[in-house]
Structure 1
Amino acid sequence: MKSLQPSDPASIGGYPLLGRLGAGGMGQVFLSRTGSGRLLALKTIRDDLSSEPGFEERFAREIRNSDRVRSPWTVTVVDYSAPGQSPQWLATEYVPAPSLAEWVTAHGPLPRTALLSLAAELCAAVQAVHQAGLAHRDVKPGNVLLARDRPRLIDFGVARAADDSRHTRLGVSVGSPGFLAPDQAVGAVAAEPADVFSLAAVLVYAATGRGPFSRAGEQVPAATLLYRVVHEEPDLTGVPPELTPLLTACLAKDPAARPTAARLSGWLEERDGRTGRWSEECPGDLSGELTEAEQATRTLVDLAQHSTAAAAGPGPATQTTRSDVAPAESGRRRRLAWLLTTAGAAVAVVVAVVAAVHFGTQRSSAESASSAKERPSGSATAGKTPSASAQETQEPQQSQEPDAALKVVQATFELATGESVGTGARSLIMQEDGNLVVYDQDHKARWAAMTGGEGNSARFQADGNLVVYNSGGQPLWASRTNGHQGAVLVFQADGNVVIKFGDTVLWAAGTEG
């Protein structure tokens, strides 16, 4: 995830923007959240598309059509822009997984068993779309998310809305060069056979690391790829032999010669490609990374909920209502209320932030240090001191501990990965993912340094500064309370974790309550 740019709005459609997730052919994608802290992927539509005559009506129609799929292999629409709103936008659950394009770029082609499982799952996904009377029209590696339970096929409503007569007249193809069908490349309206062609091209990419009309390592213009798609035969070198005849049939130039998704599914099952096995047969590294990322997700969701509660101020507890979940107009709330009241959708949205935390671009040490300077705590900078063992006491000197303190920790001490300090009410943990987090008695995150990386450590130094260092010894975050020799870290009875120098609070985590 990248930071918002100065030109980005603070919110769209009532949903606050938290960062940039990327950009596609149709527009920008932002990380956002509902009022209750559930995280969303919010895609805005390019002005040149949304300003076309009739686009707004097509866009709303296609989003409604998307709701007809209700497939385990697709993401769910949470909300979308009202008529006349600019920019047009769409908010969906945000699946915590890398795209197939991202994974193959980083790790190379999938092993055979994972490839067969992916083929079966994606075939079922396309089949579900077709059974709803729809066509995706933009099946590509970037629109396949490798989630833990099964892959997800995303982003088809917007692509269909943009596939209109204007694009046909101007000779502009909707889809991704190298993965779209020849019938799309020449401007014909894409239907089910085009999705089968694109699915086969995606599977060639998963098996070899390149598309069927690309050469290894080459960078070619889109026009060249479109020419190859229309006029040349696909290159299936490196595809497992049992899949070669299947994919060859799917990549036929004539749409009528291609098998249906249902027929392809039957062929795959004959070759031991069945749905329901992805969680067991996906790459081992993927499973491990998703596990680490889920921990980071829970932390961010807990923090979002805690921040919302803190901003609301003290008051009687109230039951969460639909208005707490989405800030959009009541009419659209009613249309989409079924989504946010189902347990499955709630779980999917809660884990959605993982790609932003784990699979996005990690901040450099310099960026992290810069972020620390923006925090509204002390004014000092991080200063590294030698590591020493922790010195803790339940009954420290009275001058250093208020009557309300449950525990006081004196410098110098260090938390390595997986270590913690605190009381039953609050604990300070240096997590495996490199984040320093304060948890409450229910193991819900109440504060986090928002750092990440393998081998991070936290140190409460003799000068009174609490610092998170990376494995190279560079500071990622600091309380900026240095210059106070003898300061102590206090776990208070009210739940707050603070750094005190005498009776003066130098820094507070803000976890009271």
Structure 2
Amino acid sequence: MEALRPGDPPEIGGYPLLARLGEGGMGEVFLARTVSGRPLALKTVHRDLGLQPDFAERFAGEIRTNDRVRCAWTVSVVDFSPPGATPQWLATEYVAAPSLGDWVRTHGPLAAPAVACLARELSAALVAVRAAGVVHRDIKPGNVLLGPERPFLIDFGIARAAQDPRRTRTGAVVGTPGFLAPEQATGDVAAAPADVFSLAAVLVYAATGRSPFLAAGEELDLPALLYRIVHAEPLLDGVPEVILPLVRECLAKDPGRRPTAEGIRARLDAGAGPDWSEAVPPALPAEVARREAELRLLLTPPRSGTGSTPTPPPPPGAPPEVPATAPEGPLTSQAASGRPSGRGSRRPVLLGATAGAAVLAAAAVLPVRFPWSGDGAGTAPPSGSPAASPSGSSPSAQALPVSWAGTWSGVGPGTPDADGVVRARTGEFTVTVTLSPGAVGEVVGRQVSEVKETSSGRNLGCTEALALRQVGRNTAVFAAVTSHPTDRAATFDCPQGNLYVLTLADPDRLTLESEGAQSAGAPTTLTRSR
């Protein structure tokens, strides 16, 4: 992490920039924050790439691909640039942990137990990738983050948007030299076995500090390195014996001879070994704690009188400004979302299904998730974090007041002007929430959404049971503990684990205010109907 440079913009897409995280052939990566203080990794695209024919379409397609993968070993897409924006950008959850590449360059290779455990964890991540029907195509040490509880695999397919092998010049390769599969090195379209090859190459790097096609301290130009990947045998000295045979199989030149991700995981799970938290290098927890402390300083608004302009407080009675992200689970039913372009305004942001398929709305729900919600979706907040508790909450408030009880409903405009390809074209968007008094942790209500796709007449809404998560003076947070299509005959999947932040604006009116991916066309006000 380094300070912003003089020419860097103060914000991108409405998200203030705090620091630089890195840069590469695709663009630059910044640490950014939401209004609520949630950290984001915001990746920009070089202007020359954005000007390439069809790049915007490819970029949006790769973001949708990225966002289909939802598991414990990945980070979520939070937002991305609308069509025509300059620069184009993508914001994801930020993990305050070093990459495998950074760690090995600074501290040297991992010990054998940690390498074996990394293999087990990343193979589980790869199984989840395959279950989502996704091929990563750029597994490398820089795309593996060493979290203290588990490693994370990031940047699904984003590099491929810049160089689609079906559209680029002859000889172009997609991926990172030294960790490419032979079929990628020759410019072919890579399928799932390419990820298996790259995973094995990353494990060699974790154990030895080098690519399997370079000797220690050796440097080669790109053509020579690609030639070795295609024709030479890998150098596997230093790879732990417990995974050596499997790594050798994964590095087979013929994709058909490599084991599947499921096969790799089954073989690794059969062997005994420590959990990730026990196998990580002893210095890693301290390094993560240092990064989290540095992050807290950047996220904490400066005090008045320090010479910096403090972040303005929310208006009295405003709900906690909680960033919305796409929920855990498959995204097959999500196609539209929105993010405010400024306080009190919203603009649509598209998270669609694959072009040519029937596109569904964003499951007709208003997904909001705390960055540190304690529900398995994130990491527990550091002490003193600005996102540790919602604005206006009271630790002593443990129950939903009787004044909230009743049925609340509202109607939004839907998305009648959507293109029907990237985002579904829908009619009126109706939301009905029924609430009863209850204690924190209890199921206290239900949300029913109704929204019809204009072309097919299908109801794309979802119905959820709501558990009370937290209560403030006039704000409450609800977690969806179950979710299914409102139309029981529907075949799409609804998002799981959404959180909702509602404010009792007056005795007969609830409002929902959020700053992230909210369903486009949904109502923002619910009135008491009984």
TM-score calculated relative to the size of structure 2: 0.61
* 1:40-98 deviation digits (Å, cap 9, x = unpaired): 11001122322222221121122122222111101111100101111110001111100
Amino acid at match of 1:149: E
Q: Would you say 1:281 and 2:279 are equivalent positions?
A: yes
Aligned twin of 1:364 = none
Amino acid at match of 1:95: V
Residues 301 and 350 of structure 1 are in contact (CA less than 8 Å); yes or no, is this contact kept in structure 2? no
Please report how far the alpha carbon of residue 133 of structure 1 lies from its aligned counterpart in structure 2 after TM superposition.
0.5
1:219-258 to 2 correspondences below 5 Å: 219-258=219-258
Change (3 A) 1:349 1:18: farther
1:465-504 to 2 correspondences below 5 Å: none
Aligned twin of 2:35 = 35
1:16-31 to 2 correspondences below 5 Å: 16-31=16-31
Aligned twin of 2:349 = 332
Change (3 A) 1:283 1:246: same
Please report how far the alpha carbon of residue 244 of structure 1 lies from its aligned counterpart in structure 2 after TM superposition.
1.5
Please report how far the alpha carbon of residue 312 of structure 1 lies from its aligned counterpart in structure 2 after TM superposition.
2.4
SS in 2 for 1:170: coil
RMSD: 2.9
Rounded Cα–Cα distance in structure 2 between residues aligned with 1:302 and 1:3:
16
Please report how far the alpha carbon of residue 291 of structure 1 lies from its aligned counterpart in structure 2 after TM superposition.
3.0
* 1:254-274 deviation digits (Å, cap 9, x = unpaired): 111111011111221233357
* 1:157-203 deviation digits (Å, cap 9, x = unpaired): 31232342465533111101110101001111111000000000000
Please report how far the alpha carbon of residue 320 of structure 1 lies from its aligned counterpart in structure 2 after TM superposition.
2.4
1:91-170 to 2 correspondences below 5 Å: 91-165=91-165, 168-170=168-170
**Structure 2: runs of 5+ lacking an equivalent:** 326-338, 352-361, 386-530
Please report how far the alpha carbon of residue 303 of structure 1 lies from its aligned counterpart in structure 2 after TM superposition.
3.5
Residues 95 and 349 of structure 1 are in contact (CA less than 8 Å); yes or no, is this contact kept in structure 2? no
Rounded Cα–Cα distance in structure 1 between residues aligned with 2:170 and 2:147:
37
Bigger proportion of residues as helix: 1
Change (3 A) 1:305 1:23: farther
Aligned twin of 1:484 = none
SS in 1 for 2:125: helix
Residues 42 and 92 of structure 1 are in contact (CA less than 8 Å); yes or no, is this contact kept in structure 2? yes
Change (3 A) 1:30 1:311: closer
Divergent runs of 4+, >6 A:
304-309
Rounded Cα–Cα distance in structure 2 between residues aligned with 1:305 and 1:70:
38
Amino acid at match of 2:158: V
Change (3 A) 1:333 1:323: farther
Aligned twin of 2:180 = 180
Change (3 A) 1:289 1:3: closer
1:79-478 to 2 correspondences below 5 Å: 79-165=79-165, 168-272=168-272, 277-303=275-301, 310-312=310-312, 316-321=316-321, 327-328=340-341, 329-332=346-349, 338=367, 340-341=369-370, 343=373, 347-348=378-379
Rounded Cα–Cα distance in structure 2 between residues aligned with 1:249 and 1:132:
24
Please report how far the alpha carbon of residue 116 of structure 1 lies from its aligned counterpart in structure 2 after TM superposition.
0.9
Please report how far the alpha carbon of residue 240 of structure 1 lies from its aligned counterpart in structure 2 after TM superposition.
1.4
* 1:220-265 deviation digits (Å, cap 9, x = unpaired): 2222211110110100011112222111110011111111011111
Question: Whose Rg is larger?
Answer: 1
Residues 36 and 321 of structure 2 are in contact (CA less than 8 Å); yes or no, is this contact kept in structure 1? no
Change (3 A) 1:324 1:202: closer
Amino acid at match of 1:331: P
Rounded Cα–Cα distance in structure 2 between residues aligned with 1:305 and 1:167:
52
Rounded Cα–Cα distance in structure 2 between residues aligned with 1:87 and 1:107:
35
Amino acid at match of 1:187: G
Change (3 A) 1:115 1:346: closer
SS in 2 for 1:247: helix
Rounded Cα–Cα distance in structure 2 between residues aligned with 1:323 and 1:71:
19
Residues 35 and 324 of structure 1 are in contact (CA less than 8 Å); yes or no, is this contact kept in structure 2? no
Please report how far the alpha carbon of residue 327 of structure 1 lies from its aligned counterpart in structure 2 after TM superposition.
4.3
Change (3 A) 1:210 1:315: closer
Amino acid at match of 1:175: G
SS in 2 for 1:330: strand
Please report how far the alpha carbon of residue 350 of structure 1 lies from its aligned counterpart in structure 2 after TM superposition.
5.9
Rounded Cα–Cα distance in structure 2 between residues aligned with 1:265 and 1:301:
38
Residues 298 and 350 of structure 1 are in contact (CA less than 8 Å); yes or no, is this contact kept in structure 2? no
Please report how far the alpha carbon of residue 39 of structure 1 lies from its aligned counterpart in structure 2 after TM superposition.
1.3
Rounded Cα–Cα distance in structure 2 between residues aligned with 1:292 and 1:92:
21
Rounded Cα–Cα distance in structure 1 between residues aligned with 2:348 and 2:245:
50
**Structure 1: runs of 5+ lacking an equivalent:** 355-513
SS in 1 for 2:367: helix
Moved more, 48-57 or 158-167: 158-167
Q: Would you say 1:69 and 2:98 are equivalent positions?
A: no
Pairs aligned (count)? 350
Rounded Cα–Cα distance in structure 2 between residues aligned with 1:65 and 1:137:
12
Rounded Cα–Cα distance in structure 1 between residues aligned with 2:347 and 2:241:
55
Please report how far the alpha carbon of residue 9 of structure 1 lies from its aligned counterpart in structure 2 after TM superposition.
1.8
Please report how far the alpha carbon of residue 11 of structure 1 lies from its aligned counterpart in structure 2 after TM superposition.
1.6
Q: Percent identity?
A: 54
Rounded Cα–Cα distance in structure 2 between residues aligned with 1:314 and 1:39:
19
SS in 1 for 2:78: strand
Rounded Cα–Cα distance in structure 1 between residues aligned with 2:222 and 2:148:
33
Aligned twin of 2:395 = none
Amino acid at match of 2:369: L
